[in-house]
Amino acid sequence: MNKITIYTDGSSRGNPGPGGWGVVLISNDNIMELGGAEYHTTNNRMELKSAIEALKNINNVSNTWKDSEIIINADSEYMVKGITLWISGWIKNNWKAMDKKPISNQDLWKELLSLAEGKNIKWQTIRGHVGIDGNERADEIATSFADGNRVNLYNGPKEEYPYVL
């Protein structure tokens, strides 16, 4: 089975404040980096946005993704626990929390759920800022966008990737 490994990260300067998201998509032969910014957002929204954009762009890194195991690595427990543990309860409770208040970021949760549907995804929480190369690069992309800095995003053969993986 083919494998696609994804590292996602989100950043917000202030919460809310300017934010950015970063993704490193790795297939057998190719690597694609993605990133973007929003003017007024939160860290949690940027974490969700990174996974959404990764799944939206997965066909650009591998035309065999339908037959692939997709591993999404994120340093956001909020995102991983939300999509693997909590979301079924939110749906059952009409997108309300135990305290009957609406779930935050419903728009992004619904989009992420829709994009994940039918895909063979393994969601993994990893520790941030501990030297995991893909996570460090996703963080660099996200924080650069949050800071309004220019980022050169790579898209090409794995063997020419300028960063360590």
Q: Which residue has the tokens 């035309």?
A: 63
Query: What is the set of active-site residues?
Result: 9-10, 47, 75, 129, 139
Q: Mapped to the 3 state alphabet, what secondary structure does the chain carry?
A: CEEEEEEEEEEECCCCEEEEEEEEEECCCEEEEEEEEEEEECHHHHHHHHHHHHHHCHHHCCCCHHHEEEEEEECCHHHHHHHHHHHHHHHHCCCECCCCCECCCHHHHHHHHHHHCCCCEEEEECCCCCCCHHHHHHHHHHHHHHCCCCCCCCEEEHHHCCCCC
